[in-house]
Amino acid sequence: MECSGKEASTGGYTAEQLKQQMGLLPLPGGNGGYFIETYRSTEDVSTAKGQRVAGTHIYFMVDKDSLADLFHIVLSDEVWHFYMGDPLVIVELDEHAPGQVIEAVLGNRVFDGQTITHVVKRNTFFAAYWMEGGQNGWSLAGTTVTPGFEVSDLRTGVRDELLALFPQARETIIKLTK
């Protein structure tokens, strides 16, 4: 995959300018990318893991230097939204469809197969990375998580475990794990 043509208008901003303007911070645990939480519901819902806030939202940026948000799993559905910059690739390893690697490209070129939103279902290993070849060197997206995201619900993918579960995705797993 590579980028071509005019991507989402960025106003000519650099990744560093956007990080500073938006207050984006490195993702905890060295997972790659930058974020800021912009919404946390004041309502709670009951889940199998106990009480959770009803929903959360973050801005998320990945650039050519941070490259990727490495494979991880969360216990809630996560809706991704494309905002601006170069396309962002989301890769899912679905244990309910053995042998299947799902890739979605978030971007503004919907007539070229890109999408402006994508849902990652709960309990699915996934990663996101900046699509090489873009004009800007960064992608800005957002994620809405319901029930809301809690750090205790996050599990980072371990390379050897993922390779055992998804041997057909060897190259992708090596690229997107530590």
Kindly report, residue by residue over 144-159, the tens digit of the pLDDT.
999 999 988 888 888 9
Q: How much is the pLDDT for 87?
A: 95
Q: How much is the pLDDT for 67?
A: 62
Q: How much is the pLDDT for 19?
A: 94
E strand or H helix at 84 = strand 77-85
Of 29, 15, 102, 94, which is closest to residue 59 (Cα–Cα)? 15
Sign of CA dihedral 52, 36, 153, 86: positive
Q: How much is the pLDDT for 98?
A: 65
Question: Which segments of the chain have a pLDDT < 70?
Answer: 1-9, 29, 67, 69, 98-99
Q: How much is the pLDDT for 99?
A: 65
34 vs 140: CA distance, rounded Å = 9
Q: How much is the pLDDT for 152?
A: 86
pTM of the model: 0.89
Q: How far is CA 109 from CA 87, 112, 132, in A?
A: 9, 5, 16
